[in-house]
């Protein structure tokens, strides 16, 4: 089997490759693929101008030193890393030409964090939707007015072009990419691995509560559609009765079946989804706490604080001060 080649483009003055989370997810997917008796699925190639090597702490082995400027660089997925170099990249015509050349012939092109600046510089995002790190929304909009910014999304898929918000959101995107490439089972195994290796102090797990619940669930597929619907409608006035109606069951039977399948009660799961959404908005947006509470379906900012503290063990304000700048 020919491995799926992921070319990661990084731009000077970067000296380290700051996409460790997505790389670890790819490494974990390779391990799961190997354990299933198949060769590693992903082959990761680091491409920098003139092949300048970068340090990385990821567990995946990288074919380092490929020249981003070479004309015949081939990829199945092109991943554009963020950082100051990516934001400065549009001012370098030689780099813009090189990335455009690769992007045009690559089936899937992904930007991580401020890698969106490098992707937008190619012009391929014009009249498309995209996202980037919240702290650079205005700067991005100023430089690329023809790109529609989605300020709430964790990641955006528009045709073959994909963009993720912060580096943490890049992990969520990578999980969805692995699910598309290798299936739901492997993606859940990768998520389970990430629980072990990527959980940060202060309770900021780097993957969604949705996935966390599925990892611990006996039968996650049974309520997959409902969970998807819940995640998309958190701001609605949701109740166990409404969830039961949604899956055409009586409330009593629904509660029983949900607990059996997911290992948590419906309301506990709903609260996990709400805190997860709040956590993302706290680290990926500049919205006020009351607005985040409303958007996530909490009755008030006070209700958000109570539930947030119960699950994450710190207040939303502490969480924001600790993690908001960490992903910039």
* Tokens describing residue 8: 């990661």
Question: At closest approach, how far in Å is the CB of 307 from DNA?
Answer: 7
N-term to C-term CA, the chain = 38
Q: What is the spatial distance between Cα 34 and Cα 31, in angstroms, rounded to a whole number?
A: 5
Q: Enumerate residues 6+ apart whose C-beta is below 8 A from 89.
A: 11, 95, 96, 99, 117, 118, 121
Among 170, 266, 297, 316, binds DNA (CB under 7 A): 266
Question: At closest approach, how far in Å is the CB of 3 from DNA?
Answer: 43
Q: What is the spatial distance between Cα 146 and Cα 279, in angstroms, rounded to a whole number?
A: 30
Q: What is the spatial distance between Cα 161 and Cα 155, in angstroms, rounded to a whole number?
A: 11
Q: Does 302 bind DNA (CB under 7 A)?
A: yes
Question: At closest approach, how far in Å is the CB of 230 from DNA?
Answer: 12
Q: Does 34 bind DNA (CB under 7 A)?
A: no
Please say which residue, 73 or 243, places its beta carbon nearer to DNA: 243
Q: Does 268 bind DNA (CB under 7 A)?
A: yes
* Tokens describing residue 127: 């009249």
Per DSSP (E only), the strands in the chain are 4-9, 42-48, 62-67, 77-80, 108-111, 129-130, 148-149, 155-158, 161-164
Question: At closest approach, how far in Å is the CB of 253 from DNA?
Answer: 3
Q: Does 166 bind DNA (CB under 7 A)?
A: no
Please say which residue, 259 or 295, places its beta carbon nearer to DNA: 259
Among 15, 306, 321, 325, binds DNA (CB under 7 A): 306
Question: At closest approach, how far in Å is the CB of 304 from DNA?
Answer: 8
Among 141, 231, 303, 328, binds DNA (CB under 7 A): 303
Place of tokens 């409330």: 251
Question: At closest approach, how far in Å is the CB of 184 from DNA?
Answer: 24
Q: What is the spatial distance between Cα 276 and Cα 72, in angstroms, rounded to a whole number?
A: 42
Among 125, 307, 308, 312, binds DNA (CB under 7 A): 307
Is residue 83 exposed (0-12), middle (13-18) or buried (19+ Cβ within 10 Å)? Answer: buried
Q: Look at residue 204 and give its three-state secondary structure.
A: coil
Q: Does 253 bind DNA (CB under 7 A)?
A: yes
Whether the CB-CB separation of 167 and 112 falls below 8 Å is answered with yes
- Judged by CB under 7 A, which stretch of 24-32, 87-95, 146-154, 303-311 contacts DNA? 303-311
Question: At closest approach, how far in Å is the CB of 266 from DNA?
Answer: 5
Please say which residue, 88 or 301, places its beta carbon nearer to DNA: 301
- Judged by CB under 7 A, which stretch of 52-60, 179-187, 205-213, 299-307 contacts DNA? 299-307
* Tokens describing residue 54: 């970068």
Compute CA distances 225 → 192, 221, 228, whole Å. Answer: 21, 8, 5
Place of tokens 């008030």: 300
Please say which residue, 286 or 306, places its beta carbon nearer to DNA: 306
Q: What is the spatial distance between Cα 196 and Cα 57, in angstroms, rounded to a whole number?
A: 16
Question: At closest approach, how far in Å is the CB of 209 from DNA?
Answer: 15
Residues 223-252 that bind DNA (CB under 7 A): 239-241, 249-252
Residues touching DNA, count (CB under 7 A): 22
Please say which residue, 70 or 253, places its beta carbon nearer to DNA: 253
Q: Are strands 108-111 and 161-164 parallel, antiparallel or unpaired?
A: parallel
Question: At closest approach, how far in Å is the CB of 261 from DNA?
Answer: 11
Please say which residue, 36 or 299, places its beta carbon nearer to DNA: 299
Whether the CB-CB separation of 83 and 114 falls below 8 Å is answered with yes
Q: Does 255 bind DNA (CB under 7 A)?
A: yes
Q: By the criterion CB under 7 A, which residues form the site for DNA?
A: 239-241, 249-253, 255-257, 259, 265-268, 299-300, 302-303, 306-307
């Amino acid at each position: 089997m020919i491995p799926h080649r992921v070319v990661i483009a990084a731009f000077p003055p970067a000296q380290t490759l700051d996409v460790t989370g997505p790389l670890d997810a790819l490494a974990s997917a390779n391990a799961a693929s190997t354990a299933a008796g198949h060769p590693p699925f992903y082959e990761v190639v680091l491409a920098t101008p003139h092949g300048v090597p970068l340090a990385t702490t990821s567990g995946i082995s990288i074919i380092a030193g490929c020249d981003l400027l070479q004309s015949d660089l081939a990829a199945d997925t092109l991943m554009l890393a963020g950082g100051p170099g990516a934001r400065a990249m549009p001012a370098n015509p030689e780099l813009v030409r090189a990335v455009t050349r690769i992007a045009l012939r690559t089936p899937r092109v992904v930007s991580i964090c401020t890698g969106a600046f490098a992707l937008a510089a190619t012009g391929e995002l014009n009249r498309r939707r995209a996202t980037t790190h919240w702290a650079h929304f205005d700067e991005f909009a100023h430089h690329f007015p023809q790109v529609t910014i989605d300020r709430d999304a964790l990641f955006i898929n528009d045709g073959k072009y994909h963009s993720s918000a912060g580096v943490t959101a890049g992990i969520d995107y990578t999980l969805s990419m692995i699910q598309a490439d290798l299936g739901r089972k492997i993606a859940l195994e990768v998520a389970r691995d990430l629980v072990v290796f990527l959980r940060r102090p202060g309770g900021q797990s780097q993957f969604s509560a949705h996935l966390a619940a599925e990892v611990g669930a006996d039968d996650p597929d049974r309520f997959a559609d409902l969970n998807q619907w819940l995640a998309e409608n958190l701001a609605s006035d949701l109740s166990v009765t409404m969830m039961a109606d949604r899956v055409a069951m009586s409330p009593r039977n629904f509660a029983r079946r949900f607990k059996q399948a997911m290992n948590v009660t419906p309301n506990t799961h709903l609260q996990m989804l709400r805190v997860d959404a709040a956590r993302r908005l706290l680290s990926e947006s500049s919205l006020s706490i009351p607005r985040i509470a409303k958007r996530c379906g909490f009755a008030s900012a006070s209700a958000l604080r109570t539930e947030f503290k119960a699950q994450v063990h710190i207040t939303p304000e502490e969480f924001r001060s600790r993690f908001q700048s960490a992903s910039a």
